[in-house]
Chain A
Amino acid sequence: MSANSLDLLSSVGSSKSTRTLLRVIILCFIAAAAVASRLFSVIRFESIIHEFDPWFNFRATKYLVANGFYSFWDWFDDRTWHPLGRVTGGTLYPGLMVTSGVIYHALRALTIPVDIRNICVLLAPAFSGLTAYATYLLTNEMTTSSSAGLLAAAFMGITPGYISRSVAGSYDNEAIAIFLLVFTFFLWIKALKQGSMLWGALCALFYGYMVASWGGYAFITCLLPLHALVLVCMGRYSTRLYVAYTTWYALGTLASMQIPFVGFLPVKTSEHMPALGIFGFLQLLAFLDYVRSAIPSRQFQTFLWIAAGGTFGIGLLGLVLATSAGFIAPWGGRFYSLWDTGYAKIHIPIIASVSEHQPTAWPAFFFDLNMLIWLFPAGVYLCFQQLADEHVFIVVYALFGSYFAGVMVRLMLTLTPVVCVAAAIAASTLLDTYLKAESPKAEDHQADDTAAEGAPKKASKGLKSTNKPAVGIYTFLSKGLVTSAMTVYLLLFVMHCTWVTSNAYSSPSVVLASRMPDGSQHIIDDYREAYQWLRQNTVEDAKIMAWWDYGYQIGGMADRPTLVDNNTWNNTHIATVGKAMSSREEVSYPIMRQHEVDYVLVVFGGLLGYSGDDINKFLWMVRIAEGIWPDEVKERDFFTPRGEYRVDSEATETMKNSLMYKMSYYNYNALFPPGQAQDRVRGARLPEVGPTLNTLEEAFTSENWIIRIYKVKDLDNLGRDHASAAAFERGHKKKKATKKRGPRVLRLD
């Protein structure tokens, strides 16, 4: 770039109003980029709701739009968890549905009729634009550099760690929750800096919105008290902290209790106790602070601080006692799994069975955050250098967030904002240092300082600048080198983000894509084919039994009652389904009769090589069932004596007789020449004779055999058991065959 255009550029950026205008334009572009990069899935596939949980949110939103807010609030859903039903209105976080309902009605009022599905699909990208803006605000509170905020917004807009949960169609709670998280943090910093009740109240309101939206609100509930505690321990207690924290806590706790699902939890569970404890502690500190200002006695002060520490200890002891006495619920199982990653696998298999609850593998950090992950520590270091109250917050958040992101894959999401902020601080410091057009001159520096500062500060400033030589980059070469290297890194980051988004995070997982040999795309649409079949060919209240993963999809797409779904609140009920799947037919059939099951749905990927199928999930069903019926279902029986999990002719008898195995491989041989049946997921050759099913009959198998639906047979007309009835059916044919071929035998008796 020539010197002329540089001058022009700098003159453009000089006036304040131009700067503001530029900033607004850049922010708009960032928001547009954030939205655009999330639209891959809509362009590649179609405007469709993704995955599993979003289907429930979508169904609930449709209910809300159709029936109004009050009946949504009191919604009892008898089409899930048959025969129990679910008090849906009281057991969900309504923030997401209400948000899209409000948008829907607002657009209606503006006479823009938009389909509710499109609102749901595009909600996450829209909110990601707002998240970028919130990150900009949060970063601006941290640093005076004007570029840091814009960089942070850009990072937040396109970083895959956040895109993973917010592509178009991923209509999940996180879609709006991350925006609320970042914005709540911004308001908290603002409240803390100004010591203003109004900002504190706004923080509490957005905290309440967050509580209404996502279970991850506990992260805020723990992080803000921790920040306050760290500040107090650093000797930075201030009246501003008191005002900000107590306003937030008093209003925020009340706001969170308005949500029926949360209810009394803020006063009854351990997760919320740190916030309460710090609240009480701050009251004491404020009182002591007042007394200290009243009486300037050294001894008295030391005593007071000891008393404060003692009270803190006593409070902690009281908390422990109250917990052991049962007034306060102890930490939940999900929480323990955050401390001990092996805990869930042993005690709560249902939590461990979800892939997003696994510990994070280290490449995932690089995959999701790319270069931000190495700029992140530099940014935290820069925060340490300044270390005002708000920088302490970034440091605390960074520590906390890194730990949790390491423990659970899905908590990468809460780490991403702080990584973006810290990395932007680091990057902007680098760029600001190296992008200064003029070389610094020692005497200029001094003169500037003395001229700019007022008279009283002169002496100290002059001293400082004589101590410290003028720091800056002198040669144009190093400037150019570092700046261009940084530019290359930023470009690489953008390319990486685009690549990851388009390849890894834009698949709806309801519709699968594969490549044909000639490179063209082939859409595999078995899920919707099967759900459509259910919708068209079964009666309105036919109960479908499937593993819980598919519960929401069946409810959303097929509109049929299910036994279990992704809201895994009732472990026993899920274990019942697991038992039915993993037992012999004679055991399973009564279970299915008792639960009025009409159809059983299994997902089978053996033909296509689709690895997320039920046989691969089968061990979790066994484990969960074993947790409730250790005598009847044993995981060991599903492994060969050599400890292998096999499906071919070497498979154990228990495995071969289990309902899941039979349903998966029933009639599978018919596709292949005799003896050639092959399972492409597990790379196993199947036994020549396929399994027989007595109590179920095949109702539907989708095009690529991904979904197989079986109808549960009614009781036999003649009162026989199913095995003999089926044997009779088969035997009848056999008899005919033998009649034809076999020689007549003389009856002797």
Chain B
Amino acid sequence: MNKVVNSAEEAIKGIESGMTLMLGGFGLCGIPENCIEALTKTDISGLTCISNNAGVDDFGLGLLLQKKQIKKMISSYVGENKEFERQMLSGELDVELIPQGTLAERCRATGAGIPAFFTPAGYGTEVAEGKETREFNGKMYVMEHAFDAPFAIVKAWKGDTEGNLIFKATARNFNPLMAMAGKITIAEVEELVPAGELDPNAIHTPGIFVQRIFQGEKFEKRIEQRTTRQA
């Protein structure tokens, strides 16, 4: 079976209006920028996006927000985006905020065949409203559920034709978890190599979790908060 596709346009085939997508990345770090750009060139709309953040006004998921292709965001933090704020306040955009660790674990659970789990995060807060709570060893926990998404889109540093992925530094973040969770997982990589060239000891995401892979045309890798010290 050939997992390699030629372009971002080919990779996103089958994504339709109204679908739920899971996207890797933290801020603008490790986001699948080629697939996001390809989506902006389609008339797909009404998307629900599960992603830790929502990009900035003119990059990342902010590009899809500008074109009003997203109807709902499921995230842990959505600052730094004026268009997002406008759409949220006007009611055009639905937003579900989830504690970051719960979001990560829900992604992991989705891919790991765990329908639900208990976490202490959010107990006693509005996040726990309407959810089952239970005491274990004298401490209270909230039950959280796995997601259900037809597509996950991730970005890796290196990948091979089997779909094995290696991430770089903190660009790993949510990517391996989203990769596990998608029924169809699309991976865009900076460098695509033939199977056998990556050390099996070094693989972060085994190819079993990846259905489509391609080398991105370009990676801008924008920095959100450039912070330096005096040399």
A and B: interacting chains:
no
